[in-house]
Amino acid sequence: MAEQGSIPLIWRRYPQRYRLEGNKCENCGTYFFPPRLVCPNCRRRGSLTKHVFSGKGVVESYTVVHVPPDEMAGQEPYVLALVRLEEGPVVTAVVTDVDPEDVKIGTRVRLAFRRISEQGESGLVCYGYKFAPEKGF
């Protein structure tokens, strides 16, 4: 977890954490989230362009976290999942608005915008992506 008060570290990643901005290699067609600075497949032959991910995905694996990092104390138990986005990349994120027993491998989810953590009582609120079950919407 980021040290308390580390403002630039949080601010720098807003485009990715707020709206799933990643990229795509026009040379090999692979999508990347988080965005890559060099295509690991094509290296210097690659050509990376911005791609905003749809936020639709499927749970590839999950765990119910009972012992959270200090920054998320009080939110446990929460579901942490590997979510495969429909464009291909997998992200690690919390599945929110759900009872833990309702998350399974294969559960379809959609993007949600949530508070992730807080840098202490008086510090910055760190927002970012979580996912919520698609069922019902």
User: Which residues are at the interface with other proteins (CB under 8 A)?
Assistant: 1-2, 9, 13-15, 17-19, 34, 52, 60-75, 77-78, 80-82, 89-94, 96-97, 99, 105, 112-117, 125-130, 136-137
Q: Which is nearer to other proteins, 47 or 63 (CB)?
A: 63
In the complex, least distance from residue 107 CB atom to other proteins, rounded to whole angstroms: 12
Q: How far is the CB of 44 from other proteins (least distance, A)?
A: 19
Find all residues with CB under 8 Å of 53, minimum gap 6, and list them: 20, 21, 22, 31, 33, 85, 87, 89
Smaller CB distance to other proteins: residue 13 or 47? 13
Number of H helices, E strands in the chain: 2, 8
Nearer to other proteins, 15 or 26 (CB): 15
Phi, psi of 112 (to 5 degrees): -130, 150
Residue with structure tokens 């202490």?
A: 120
User: Residue 90 CB, nearest distance to other proteins (Å)?
Assistant: 4
For residue 76, what are the contacts with CB-CB under 8 A and spacing of at least 6? 65, 66, 67, 68
